[in-house]
């Protein structure tokens, strides 16, 4: 097979994604790891090139007259539809609210588009919609518009959900990976890998003395506290969903042109989650979260940020887990419990497909 790119006038004569490596879409293209990055940078960014998209944030921040709006969209294909701690409906609301919050925005409104498979029980659809309504009401962010499509029986998987959202960003507030500076502290709002292990335990029929539940939750209240307490000392926010903490920090490091160094002993992981990961050969750093955030703040504001996070129920287990460093630009390293350093790279494969 030729290594030459595909000729396509839409890309000025050639498609920037080499077909020699992946002539068809792979599951890992949606996993948040290296193949997702290659798909975005090799195909999607060149196709839709603009400054707002090039920021590669969880959403776009747009100037609209005297206002600054954050705009984001996400699709949900999680399997199973219902899982401990949530379901596809509440997950869709929380995920979109959180993407707006990671831009520093106060969420204003959501859209909801449903792709339904012929034969889906109406009871199942009602459960999902009721859950979305409850999640939106609890977050204080209404669903104001939407769409519904139905595909033939056997051509879908019950239900897929797309949600988009808009939010308002305060004047002068800039949350962006490029604001990271050497010496900045890296904080996590709580224990990791709970969403991914909750989904996996249902799929594999695993049962534990202490049930594992998804951490799915709206984080905009937690972010509002950080913004109020830290102001310009809050440099970067990211919710480590697909690909987990490892992928999120790699994206930040690459955008900032700096390194990130984690301390293994500082990263909070609950006993049941650690046990599942050891049983199945998973690294918690790569497992998805849906109710945690990463914050990168000025070194002198680290303790203030930690106190702010711990003042909120969703941040009570927050911890300072690392720092931004000048060496190894664009890479994430981890200092192990015995003092050694290892590189925490992007995953190439897909360890947990359809996790959100």
pLDDT in tens, 270-302: 999 999 999 889 999 999 999 999 999 999 999
204: confidence class by pLDDT, cuts 50, 70, 90? confident
Per-residue pLDDT, 130: 98
Please name the CATH architecture into which domain 66-173 falls.
Answer: 2-Layer Sandwich (3.30)
Is residue 134 over pLDDT 60? yes
Q: Which of 284, 269, 266 is nearest to 321 (CA)?
A: 266
- Per the omega criterion (within 30 degrees of 0), is the bond before 353 cis? no
Length of the chain as a residue count: 356
On the question of a common fold for 66-173 and 177-343, the answer reads no
Is residue 79 over pLDDT 70? yes
Q: Which has the higher per-residue pLDDT, 166 or 349?
A: 166
Condensed to tens digits (0 to 9), the pLDDT of residues 207-223 reads: 777 789 999 999 999 99
82 to each of 171, 198, 329, how far by Cα in Å?
39, 11, 41
What residues does each domain of the chain span? Answer: 1-57, 66-173, 177-343
DSSP codes, 249-299: HHHHHHHHTSEEEEEGGGS---HHHHHHHHHHT--GGGS--SS--EEEE-G
Is residue 14 over pLDDT 50? no
Is residue 20 over pLDDT 60? no
CA–CA dist 329, 178 (Å, integer): 13
1: confidence class by pLDDT, cuts 50, 70, 90? very low
353: confidence class by pLDDT, cuts 50, 70, 90? confident
CA–CA dist 52, 65 (Å, integer): 16
CA–CA dist 130, 294 (Å, integer): 30
- Looking at 2.102.10.10, 3.90.650.10, 3.40.930.10, 1.10.357.10, the CATH number of the domain 177-343 comes to 3.90.650.10
CA–CA dist 318, 191 (Å, integer): 8
CA–CA dist 222, 237 (Å, integer): 11
16: confidence class by pLDDT, cuts 50, 70, 90? very low
For the chain, the straight-line distance linking the first and the last C-alpha, in angstroms and rounded, comes to 34
Neighbours of 16 (CB within 10 A): 17
DSSP codes, 50-114: -HHHHT--SSEEEEETTEEEEEEEEEE--SSSEETTEEHHHHHHHHHHHHHHHTTEEEEEEEEEE
Q: pTM score, two decimals?
A: 0.91
Per-residue pLDDT, 12: 43
């Amino acid at each position: 097979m030729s290594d030459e790119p595909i000729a396509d006038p839409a890309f000025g004569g050639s498609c920037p994604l080499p077909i020699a490596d992946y002539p068809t879409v792979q599951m890992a293209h949606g996993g948040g790891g290296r193949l997702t990055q290659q798909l975005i940078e090799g195909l999607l960014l060149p196709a839709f090139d603009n400054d707002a998209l090039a920021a590669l944030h969880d959403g776009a921040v747009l100037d609209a007259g005297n206002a600054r709006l954050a705009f984001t969209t996400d699709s949900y294909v999680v399997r199973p539809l219902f899982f401990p701690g949530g379901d596809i409906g509440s997950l869709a609301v929380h995920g979109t609210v959180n993407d707006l919050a990671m831009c520093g925005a106060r969420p204003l409104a959501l859209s909801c588009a449903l792709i339904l498979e012929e034969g889906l029980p109406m009871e199942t659809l009602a459960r999902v919609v009721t859950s979305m309504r409850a999640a939106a009401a609890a977050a204080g962010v209404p669903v104001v518009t939407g769409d519904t499509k139905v595909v033939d029986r056997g051509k879908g998987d019950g239900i897929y959900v797309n949600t988009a959202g808009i939010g308002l960003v305060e004047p002068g507030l800039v949350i962006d990976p490029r604001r990271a500076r050497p010496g900045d502290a890296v904080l996590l709002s709580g224990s990791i890998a709970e969403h991914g292990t909750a989904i996996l335990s249902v799929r594999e029929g695993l049962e534990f003395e202490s049930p594992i539940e998804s951490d799915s939750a709206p984080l905009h209240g937690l972010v509002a506290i950080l913004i109020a307490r830290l102001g310009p000392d809050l440099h970067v926010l990211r919710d480590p969903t697909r690909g987990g903490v490892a992928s999120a920090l790699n994206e930040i490091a690459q955008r900032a042109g700096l390194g990130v160094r984690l301390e293994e002993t500082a990263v909070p992981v609950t006993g049941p989650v650690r046990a599942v990961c050891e049983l199945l050969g998973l690294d918690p750093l790569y497992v998805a979260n849906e109710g945690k955030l990463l914050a990168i703040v000025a070194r002198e504001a680290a303790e203030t940020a930690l106190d702010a996070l711990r003042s909120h129920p969703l941040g009570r287990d927050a911890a300072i887990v690392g720092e931004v460093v000048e060496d190894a630009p664009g890479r994430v390293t981890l200092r192990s419990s015995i003092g050694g350093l290892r590189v925490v790279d992007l995953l190439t494969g897909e360890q947990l497909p359809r996790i959100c």
